[in-house]
Chain A
């Protein structure tokens, strides 16, 4: 079945450092890919998404490119802020309108001033 593997955390960075959180997936066809962010004590918020190969999703300085050849959707940000501290989840939605989101295990990011 479909699955998502993302790098295990926790990740601790200093403010203004470069961030990469790796995410790879296994799925048939062409799934849609998502990054969600969860701030402490809150639910999930959609950060960005990409629906087809070579699409780049971007939001709030974060970017991720849908790489079909490497089945990856790595999250990057050039300069992190303390306010980016949260748990980040990579997820996929199967092709054909499958209802179920498949989540990775999440990566906790802590950014220190």
Chain B
């Protein structure tokens, strides 16, 4: 099946620094990638949708200047948390949608997540 990887799996950074998280589709091309944030014991909150070669579409309430998303190729999207603060500590999960026809093209494959801790 389709595999999505994320790097790093865990990161600890100091307040005020920036952190980049990578999301890669390993064995398929992804026209669209999604970034989610998950708070402890809660569901996933969609942060933004990124399409290769175009600007990301952010959900209401998500600061686009703080959470920079770049979808540079059909296999890579990055999320950069700029000037991170402790309240940004969370579990960030990406997913990718395969570039094929049919209903399966709408299925999202999820990465393993990145645990960000800001001290």
Contacts and interface: CB of A to CB of B under 8 A. Distances in A.
Interface string B97-112: 1000001011111111
Contact of B103 (A43, A51, A100, A101): A51
A27 interface: no
Q: Contact residue range for chain B?
A: 20 to 34
Q: How large is the interface on A (under 10, 10 to 19, 20 to 34, 35 or more residues)?
A: 20 to 34
Q: Is the interface of B mostly helix, strand, loop or mixed?
A: strand
Interface stretch (A13-21, A62-70, A102-110): A102-110
Contacts, number: 51
Interface string A41-54: 11111100101000
Contacts of B110: 36, 43-46
Nearest to A105: B43
A44 B44 CA distance: 10
A82 B44 CA distance: 25
Contacts of A105: 42-43
Interface of A: 32, 36, 41-46, 49, 51, 89, 93, 97-101, 103-106, 108
